[in-house]
Chain A
Amino acid sequence: MELMKSENIVQDRQPQPQEEEEIMQQEEEEEQRFHVLAVDDSVIDRKLLEKLLKASSYQVTCVESGEKALEYLGLLHHSSPASSSSSQHHHQETQGHKVNLIMTDFSMPGTSGYDLLKRIKGSSWKDVPVVVMSSENVPSRISMCLEGGAEEFMLKPLQLSDLHKIQAHLLKSLPHS
């Protein structure tokens, strides 16, 4: 898709409706920012995570459960992990937005973070890095998640200093030229 950068320069143009310009610029900026899908059943942790990620200028979508995450990714009604031709065109895009990183809490009622991880890795989203978070430092849990395909396991509460790890995974996810 072409980004009509030059046509958005305001200086020497005829006056245009201010709002339209601003909306277009905003949409462009959003497209260029990394988009993180954050999954956590704690309202406090969602708010914290959102702020932390926004502080790094990432675009963030927060959902409160594994089920909601699957719904967002369009995986809720697929019973088999195989990607059909209809889901191919959804690759890394849903509802018009790409998803560059998924961060999920481990302990959630219903679909756990681990369940979510496995579903993602068995779908057309499998190349999107998944980071699992937990307030508990349990070695067997950590290895289980890493073996399940998680890029990283992070201890909660997350801090500003943890963000560099996230950035590393996001940069890795960029298409190679």
Chain B
Amino acid sequence: MDLVQLQRQFVDYKTSLYHEGFLDEQFTQLQELQDENNPDFVVEVVSLFFEDSERLLNELARALEQQNIDYKRIDAHVHQLKGSSSSIGAQRVQKVCIAFRNYCEEQNVEGCLKCLQQVRHEYSLVKTKLESLFQLEQQILTAGGSFPM
């Protein structure tokens, strides 16, 4: 694929991610913060998000397996996940976290389990999509292109 085709594919893909609500305005902000001094800034922040989220998701699963569920603890973890997803613009993950916190407040274990499943799903979707986006970006750089286009 030539550079022009790659660039078009990149733009289309990125647009679709916003359109489908995977990413929001905040992701754009991240990109605006990136510069020649920090050319990997977005990838670095997103990698931190991946690490942090995986840790939180494991904690959540563990907490929901307990005999006596500690809803405060669960809420604290979801609050963190909500915050970090909001900070990178992972809108769909953030939205599930809001619902999740409501179930925590109600101490509704069914609701919490359902949300955990949903948030896991949304997380893995956005992870895959961001990785594809970064891959496209890398291909463009390799083909001699540059950003912003």
Q: Which residues does chain A contribute within 8 Å of B32, judged by CB atoms?
A: 160
Q: Whole-angstrom distance between the alpha carbons of A160 and B26 in the complex?
A: 11
Interface contact B45-A48, CB-CB below 8 Å:
yes
The stretch that binds B, out of A2-10, A39-47, A84-92, A144-152, is A39-47
Q: What per-residue 1/0 map shows which CB atoms of A135-159 lie under 8 Å from chain B?
A: 1000000000000000000001101
- Of A51, A107, A160, most B-chain CB atoms within 10 Å: A51
Pick the residue among B26, B48, B80, B83 that contacts A47 (CB under 8 A): B48
Given A135-B86, A157-B29, A160-B32: A47 and B79 within 8 A (CB)? no
Please give the residue numbers on chain A whose beta carbons come within 8 Å of chain B beta carbons, in ascending order: 42-45, 47-48, 51-52, 55, 107, 109, 135, 156-157, 159-160
Interface contact B29-A44, CB-CB below 8 Å:
no
Interface contact B52-A156, CB-CB below 8 Å:
no
Pick the residue among B33, B38, B41, B84 that contacts A44 (CB under 8 A): B84
Given A48-B45, A55-B33, A159-B29: A107 and B79 within 8 A (CB)? yes
Q: Which residues does chain B contribute within 8 Å of A159, judged by CB atoms?
A: 26, 29
Interface contact B33-A45, CB-CB below 8 Å:
no
B118 in contact (CB, < 8 A): no
Complex: chain A residue closest to B80, CB-CB: A42
Pick the residue among B38, B45, B49, B82 that contacts A135 (CB under 8 A): B82
Interface of B is mostly: helix
- Please list the 10 inter-chain residue pairs (A to B) with the smallest Cβ-Cβ separation, ordered nearest first: A157-B87, A44-B84, A135-B83, A51-B33, A44-B48, A44-B87, A159-B29, A157-B26, A45-B87, A43-B48
CB distance from A62 to the nearest CB of B (A): 13
Complex: chain B residue closest to A51, CB-CB: B33
Q: Which residues does chain A contribute within 8 Å of B70, judged by CB atoms?
A: none
Complex: chain B residue closest to A52, CB-CB: B33
Q: Which residues does chain A contribute within 8 Å of B80, judged by CB atoms?
A: 42
CB distance from B47 to the nearest CB of A (A): 10
CB distance from A107 to the nearest CB of B (A): 7
Q: Which residues does chain B contribute within 8 Å of A157, judged by CB atoms?
A: 26, 29, 86-87
Interface contact B44-A47, CB-CB below 8 Å:
yes
Interface contact A51-B38, CB-CB below 8 Å:
yes
Interface contact B29-A45, CB-CB below 8 Å:
no
Given A156-B87, A160-B32: A44 and B45 within 8 A (CB)? yes
25 contacts between A and B (CB under 8 A): A42-B52, A42-B83, A44-B48, A44-B49, A44-B52, A44-B84, A45-B83, A45-B84, A45-B87, A47-B44, A48-B45, A51-B33, A51-B38, A51-B41, A52-B33, A55-B33, A107-B79, A135-B83, A156-B83, A156-B86, A157-B29, A157-B86, A157-B87, A159-B26, A160-B33
